[in-house]
Amino acid sequence: MFPDLRPSLAASVDNLPSLETRKEQLMVDGVKDFGDDCMVSNTSLLPLREYYFLEDDVELQNLHMSPIASKHQAMDDVNSSNDTGPLIFPGDGMEVDECLSIVHLLKAYGEAMDIEMRELAEEITMRLKEKGYPTGSTLQRLAYYLVQALDKQVSFLREEAMINYEIAFSAFYQVFPYGRFAHFTANSVILEAIPEDAEMVHIVDFDIGKGVQWPPIIEALAIQGGQRVEVRFTSIKWEQEEEDPPLQSFEETQMLLHEHARHYGLRLKVEEKDLVSLDSEMKKTKKIGEGNYEWLAFNCMVGLPHMEERRNVRSVIEFLKLAKDSIRVKGGGGTITFGDGIGWGKGLQGWPGYGNIFEGQLGQFKTLLESMDNQLPHHLREAKIAIECLFLIPYVSSLIDMQMWKEIYRESRALSEVGLEPWSMRNDNVLEAKELVREGESSYWVRIEGVKQNQMVLGYRGTPLVKVSSWR
């Protein structure tokens, strides 16, 4: 444990370098500087708590998509403000008949796919295409993004949005709590579990992506451990599952994390390995009490809305099995954090039919759209379109992937038999997470559930959106 960690998280920001100085320190050659409008003032170099607790000063004015707004006019541009519930709830300002028409088409599509009537499903998709608008009500946007996800083709809107990808990513991650909640919760668990005498902290990441989860960990360990502790990040190297390469290479992420650690004087190694190589290495590492041992943390995030890559359930199972075996070999010296933004942990005991899964997942997607509506003002419509096109089309594609859900059903027993031991969440972390999502001031909420209270859930109104659990 790091007994002095909590006080350090509330440290004053008065002595931090200026914004311009920080930008110069953190930007390296080949990394684009998008200006002050995409920076979070006085937070981006603070450890953990302050890193995730943002003020209302994130600007989106640089995220322009004016050509899109002129080419796609909505029939109904009034955002829905209804409570989350069944898909039959119409949005404000939207004709009930139009709403029910979209809902009936959505249900019919799920049922057609369930009984493998592909031609009928294609006809329904064409009808949904006529009713979907990227600037319309919640249901109109839901229909639009669903059709885009099913089409598998890069739309004009998404091509336009890609020009502003880095700005959109920064804004999406900073403005909305989904990724920040998951990362804050997992990082809190990891930091609390690290023993005082650990000389090497080894964090294995299932999907490191752009590496946005790890700067607060680097800063906190630099403050507490200094030169005494060496930190090692291992990113799992997976076979490319999709044709498109990642927008940010591992080498770019590696460079940025090294630069961040260098700024704080932390000894850091960042590497990429496949599971077979890592498994072989883990079997040779020292146990607790054998001197100079390595403390392990395995971090697995899947299906968070901002995440670029999609992984299959077999990869998740293999990763969790390796995590469990590695920690056991070391005599219990480690922790496992698992974040889920799609619902992989639903634990399907029987195949409920794709139609039922489809309707439930669209309900979750509808809730996500509503939560975004309530956080982005109307005059930032173009920014919202950019964010939704870049991140929600891949997200809904994962939510409704029939093959993925069939695989989850087939592998549900294997997943339940991994045999991880639950590790309870601390109550002060729950309180801080509630503060992070502004529970009471917003419609977001946080609660604890799971075996031995080891799972923290972020929800919006009546629907869970992200779950993070801790294990050992």
Written as tens digits, the pLDDT of the chain (472 aa) is: 323 333 232 232 233 333 233 223 322 332 333 233 333 333 333 455 666 765 544 545 555 444 444 444 433 333 333 333 444 444 444 555 777 899 999 999 999 999 999 999 999 999 999 999 998 889 999 999 999 999 877 678 888 888 889 999 999 999 999 999 999 999 999 999 998 888 899 999 999 999 999 999 999 999 987 678 899 999 999 986 555 666 788 999 999 999 999 999 999 999 999 999 999 998 886 655 565 578 999 999 999 999 977 788 889 999 999 999 999 887 767 999 999 998 765 555 567 788 888 888 899 999 999 999 988 887 888 888 899 999 998 888 888 888 888 888 777 767 776 788 899 999 999 999 999 999 999 999 999 998 899 999 999 999 999 999 999 8
Q: Where do we find the tokens 């974040």?
A: 339
Q: Which amino acid is at 27?
A: M
Domain range for 112 is 66-163+351-405
CA dihedral (406, 365, 438, 23) positive or negative: positive
**Positive or negative torsion for Cα 232, 236, 237, 240:** negative
Among the listed residues 256, 255, 191, the one whose alpha carbon sits nearest the alpha carbon of residue 229: 191
Would 450 be classed as within a structural domain?
no
How many domains does the chain contain in total?
1
Token readout for 454 is 């080891």
- Residue 466 in any domain: the answer is no
Residue 19 within any structural domain of the chain: no
pTM over 0.75: yes
Rounded (10°) angle between helices 165-175 and 177-193: 70
Tokens of 410: 């087939």
pLDDT of residue 218: 96
Contacts of 298 (CB under 8 A, 6+ apart): 203, 204, 206, 319, 320, 322, 323, 326, 327, 334, 335, 336, 337
Other CB atoms within 10 Å distance of the CB of residue 174 = 22
Q: Tell which residue, 303, 377, 289, has the closest CA to residue 61.
A: 377
Asked if residue 58 lies in contact with residue 171, where contact means CB atoms within 8 angstroms, the answer is yes
> Rounded to whole angstroms, how far apart are CA atoms 400 and 354?
9
| Among 180, 222, 229, 460, CA closest to 339 | 180
For residue 246 the two structure tokens come to 């990642």
Write out the two tokens for 332: 């219990």
Q: Is residue 221 part of a domain?
A: no
Is there a domain that residue 78 lies in? yes
Q: What is the pLDDT of residue 43?
A: 33
| Helix or strand holding residue 181 (H, E) | helix 177-193
Element (H, E) at 98: helix 96-114
Tokens encoding 165: 């990808």
Q: Which two tokens stand for residue 182?
A: 């998951």
82, 84, 88, 93 alpha-carbon torsion, rounded to 10°: 20
Residue-level pLDDT at 460:
96
Would you say residue 25 lies in a domain? no
CB 262 within 8 A of CB 219: no
Instruction: Of 228, 199, 196, give the one whose Cα is nearest residue 292.
Output: 199
What is the SS3 assignment for 102-117? HHHHHHHHHHHHHCCC
Of the candidates 320, 398, 417, 329, the residue with the CA atom closest to the CA atom of residue 357 = 398
**Residue 377: φ, ψ to 5°:** -65, 160
**Assigned domain for 304 exists:** no
Q: Does residue 87 fall inside a structural domain?
A: yes
Exposed / middle / buried, residue 184 (Cβ in 10 Å: 0-12, 13-18, 19+): buried
